[in-house]
Chain A
Amino acid sequence: MKTNFLSKILIVFFGVVFFIFYKGLNNSNIYVPKVNIDKNIPSFTAKIFNSSTKIKSEEIFNNNQFYLVNIWASWCIPCREEHSFLLDLSKNKNVIIIGINYKDKIQNAKFFLGEFKNPYKIIIRDTDGTISIDWGAYGVPETFLISNKKIIKRITGPINIDSFSEIKEIIQ
């Protein structure tokens, strides 16, 4: 009798623990260092995609305008997932999407844009990955929302439906 009761209690207990862990998994736990939020954007000089002219970051970003900086590459599978969101956002007048083409071959990148269409107003080339590091990026894809030359939101990994609607809400 006694062990029977104990076993039921334990099963309920572990059931609860399971449920809580399960819930915990669904919480977004992607660790975002607070220092990178509300920080000024890094300044850089980089080659523009498809041409040999260089551009300075000061020439790209203006105050009173939302920018979405998206780090992408043709070889990056998750980038394809988020591409439809970027295309959708590119139709929005309140935001300008800037692409950072990360460690990519220019030919492959062109194919990629040809196949999936181009959501970017400006694309800069980051052949050795140093620009992305200045941004404090973890990997590809990664997206930064910028307002008044400050990073106000950062999305590590591909944009999903949640982060997409969050971005939309902010830029409205």
Chain B
Amino acid sequence: MASLIGYYSLIFGFCTSLLIILISIKNFKNTNVFNTRIISLTFLQFLFVVISFLGLILSFVNSDFSNQTVFNHSHTTKPLFYKISGTWGNHEGSLLLWLLVLTLFIFLFLLKSKEQIKKYRVLTLLFQQIIVIGFFVFLIKSSNPFSNIFPVPIEGLGLNPILQDPALAIHPPILYLGYVGSSIIFSSSLAATSLNNISKEWAKHIKPWVLISWIFLTIGILLGSIWAYYELGWGGFWFWDPVENVSLMPWLALTTLLHCILVLEKRLVLTSWVIILSISTFTLSMSGTFLVRSGILNSVHTFASDPERGLFILIFLFSLIFLSLFIFFSFHKVENQNTKHFFWLSKETSILINNWFMMYFLSVILIGTVYPIFLEVLSSEKISVGPPFYNKLIIPFLIPFLLAMAIGPKLKWIKSDLRDRLYLILFLVISLLLSGLIVNSLDISFLTNTILITAAFYLFLISLRDFFMNKFENLSQNVAHFGFSLLILSILFNNIFSTEVITNLKIGETFHSEKFKINFEKIEQNDKQNFKSLTGKFNIEDQNGVIDVLEPELRIYNQPNIVTSEADIKTNMITDKFMTMNLVRDQEYFNIRYQIKPFMIWIWISVLLITFGGIISLLKKKYEN
């Protein structure tokens, strides 16, 4: 029943789309006043999608297995929370969620753009509706969340246990808020380009949307990363997996866009940058959807591979790309105030430099992600691109990037010279000494490491000083840049100082190493709602005789029958102690993996700081300098 209502509601939503387009085109041509009926209609459309989404949630909650999506991804013994989050933990449901957020954002955009000219609002809406229609058709035609199964199965197949995690329950919605927000930026900049309306006022009007998408995208990526760390139990937070990459690429484009918008708001330059970045942020988000959903890539995240679906997204994606190329080349007038007129030492120059670095990072990731596909098609050779590729190509270029990030914000617009030269040099020396000390205390010493740590410390110290000296002027930039330096430092120290032990132990045995002892005390068995749990108890004694108790767990889920390994992680401000346990087949031994990972929590904290910088900027009414 709920399924049926959901399905028809979806069709009504699609019809509303056609109606909106009809009225909008009429309104665009004929009058000078914005037809307010359009706003009501977009609200109606949003309502239809809400009903449809609620219908799907209800089917999941009631375990209605006549619905194929529910059957494939749910089970009666699943806790209610995961029944609900299972709604968007699959291909069909997640697309419906996309659509839900999309229609909500269109409605909000129309409410928030009242002071803009009519043509611009209508045109933005039209571009948005093209995207909406694409999603409606895709959902109804090839990914219907409400398709029936007959005869009705008694039991569902269950949700993959690794997806049964609170962080992952909110990770997709938050990420989607970011992706969909970028669609508003996309449509808006296309509309503004067509009407030759790119101005400082437009920049001011679109900035909150850029910030909101950026904030959600950042938190979304963070949540995904936290999930990978706590749930996958590989002891890392970023794997350069293609699906992680496709979320990072729009983020890089969006971050660059954010900085360009700041310049545009001040000086009306870099307009081409802004338009191209707006287009690429959204198309990168869409390509992400394409690469993940079509199964063209092999990844831990691949849900379903279905070439027909892939083909649809592919055609849709490239129609959008060609549409935007057409608009860009036919309507965009290259600004008179060319970038060549930038004075070499000014804020805009430093932003431009960092733009190019960002584009470089973006291209590296893009190539690393799609190159295997190209190679396979052209030479049918299968390769996979791993972390070493990204590390080698990205890390050295972080150094000038960090330095520019430190000095750039201190410069003035248009023309500037360096103030506080003494401090700048002094901090550089301190950073050098600090990193020299740290690297020297280790056995391994690489020049790149030393310089990289120096650069990160430099940004760290300078933004810290600015924080106290500048009386909170330009606070958002300051916090975000400080967060970034902290992030790089934490990642570096985390990489350099991590230790790992992998060994097989049986109950009662003790493992000795130079720095610690691991004693396997006992194992406990418990029955939970939808899984059986085996919890090991390990006592770890370090050199100082301090004992930590770690209790990693093995979960044997009933539906589907999968064993997952839950890491036990003891976190404090300095270091994480991380332990996972696995069965060794047919033996009384357990495979133990124990890791000491310093500064883990600071990675999360620093990303939160970066996000917080964005939030401050969003809340602050007045201009930033």
Binding site for A on B (CB under 8 A): 149-155, 157, 290, 294-298, 302, 305, 307, 310-311, 314, 318, 321-322, 325, 329, 334, 373-374, 376-378, 380, 560-561
Chain B residues with Cβ below 8 Å from A26 are 307
In the assembled complex, A50 has its CB within 8 A of some CB on chain B: no
Chain B residues with Cβ below 8 Å from A108 are 151
Q: State whether A22 and B311 are in contact (beta carbons under 8 Å apart), knowing that A7-B325, A14-B322, A31-B302 are contacts in the complex.
A: yes
Q: State whether A22 and B154 are in contact (beta carbons under 8 Å apart), knowing that A3-B334, A14-B325 are contacts in the complex.
A: no
Interface residues of A in 36-80 (CB under 8 A from B): 74-75, 77
A-B residue pairs in contact (CB < 8 Å), sample of 5? A7-B325, A14-B318, A74-B151, A103-B153, A108-B151
In the assembled complex, A105 has its CB within 8 A of some CB on chain B: yes
Give Cα distance in the complex from A108 to B154, angstroms.
12
Chain B residues with Cβ below 8 Å from A10 are 325
In the assembled complex, A130 has its CB within 8 A of some CB on chain B: yes
Chain A residues with Cβ below 8 Å from B155 are 103
A133 and B560 contacting across the interface, CB-CB below 8 Å: yes
B296 and A24 contacting across the interface, CB-CB below 8 Å: yes
**Option from B151, B318, B334, B374 in Cβ contact (under 8 Å) with A75:** B151
CB distance from A62 to the nearest CB of B (A): 26
In the assembled complex, A11 has its CB within 8 A of some CB on chain B: yes
**Closest A-chain residue to B329, C-beta based?**
A7
A3 and B314 contacting across the interface, CB-CB below 8 Å: no
Chain A 14-33 per-residue mask, 1 if CB under 8 angstroms from chain B, else 0 = 10001011111111011100
Chain B residues with Cβ below 8 Å from A30 are 295, 305
B376 and A24 contacting across the interface, CB-CB below 8 Å: yes
Interface footprint category on A: 20 to 34
A20 and B561 contacting across the interface, CB-CB below 8 Å: no
CB distance from A163 to the nearest CB of B (A): 15
Give Cα distance in the complex from A27 to B380, angstroms.
9
Chain B residues with Cβ below 8 Å from A21 are 290, 296, 314, 373
Chain A residues with Cβ below 8 Å from B298 are 29, 31
**Closest A-chain residue to B309, C-beta based?**
A25
Chain B residues with Cβ below 8 Å from A25 are 294, 296, 307, 310-311, 314
Give Cα distance in the complex from A105 to B377, angstroms.
44
**Closest A-chain residue to B283, C-beta based?**
A14
Give Cα distance in the complex from A26 to B296, angstroms.
9
**Closest B-chain residue to A18, C-beta based?**
B318
CB distance from B269 to the nearest CB of A (A): 18
B561 and A133 contacting across the interface, CB-CB below 8 Å: yes
Tell me the interface secondary structure of chain B in the complex.
Answer: loop
Chain B residues with Cβ below 8 Å from A75 are 149-153
Interface contacts (Cβ under 8 Å), in number, total 69
A27 and B302 contacting across the interface, CB-CB below 8 Å: no
Give Cα distance in the complex from A161 to B157, angstroms.
28
Chain A residues with Cβ below 8 Å from B561 are 129-130, 133
Chain B residues with Cβ below 8 Å from A20 are 373-374, 377-378
Give Cα distance in the complex from A27 to B152, angstroms.
34
Chain A residues with Cβ below 8 Å from B153 are 75, 103
Chain A residues with Cβ below 8 Å from B321 are 14
Chain A residues with Cβ below 8 Å from B560 are 129, 133
CB distance from B79 to the nearest CB of A (A): 20
Give Cα distance in the complex from A137 to B9, angstroms.
36
Give Cα distance in the complex from A114 to B153, angstroms.
19
Give Cα distance in the complex from A12 to B374, angstroms.
16
**Closest A-chain residue to B378, C-beta based?**
A20
Give Cα distance in the complex from A29 to B329, angstroms.
37
Chain B residues with Cβ below 8 Å from A6 are 329
Q: A22-B314, A103-B153, A105-B154 are in contact. List 6 more A-B contacts (CB 8 A).
A: A7-B329, A11-B325, A20-B373, A27-B377, A75-B151, A77-B149
Give Cα distance in the complex from A39 to B290, angstroms.
34
Give Cα distance in the complex from A20 to B378, angstroms.
8
Give Cα distance in the complex from A139 to B153, angstroms.
14
Give Cα distance in the complex from A11 to B155, angstroms.
50
Chain B residues with Cβ below 8 Å from A133 are 560-561
CB distance from A104 to the nearest CB of B (A): 8
Give Cα distance in the complex from A164 to B75, angstroms.
33
**Closest B-chain residue to A22, C-beta based?**
B314
**Closest A-chain residue to B561, C-beta based?**
A133
Chain A 91-111 per-residue mask, 1 if CB under 8 angstroms from chain B, else 0 = 000000000000101001000
Chain B residues with Cβ below 8 Å from A11 are 322, 325
Give the most central of A10, A29, A30: most B CB within 10 Å. Answer: A29
Chain B residues with Cβ below 8 Å from A130 are 561
A27 and B295 contacting across the interface, CB-CB below 8 Å: no
Chain B residues with Cβ below 8 Å from A129 are 560-561
Chain B residues with Cβ below 8 Å from A18 are 314, 318
**Closest B-chain residue to A6, C-beta based?**
B329
A24 and B373 contacting across the interface, CB-CB below 8 Å: yes
B296 and A29 contacting across the interface, CB-CB below 8 Å: yes
CB distance from A133 to the nearest CB of B (A): 5
Give Cα distance in the complex from A12 to B498, angstroms.
48
Give Cα distance in the complex from A30 to B306, angstroms.
9
The 8 nearest A-B residue pairs measured at CB: A7-B329, A23-B377, A133-B561, A25-B310, A24-B373, A31-B298, A25-B307, A18-B318
**Option from A14, A27, A31, A139 in Cβ contact (under 8 Å) with B157:** A139
Chain A residues with Cβ below 8 Å from B149 are 75, 77
CB distance from A12 to the nearest CB of B (A): 11
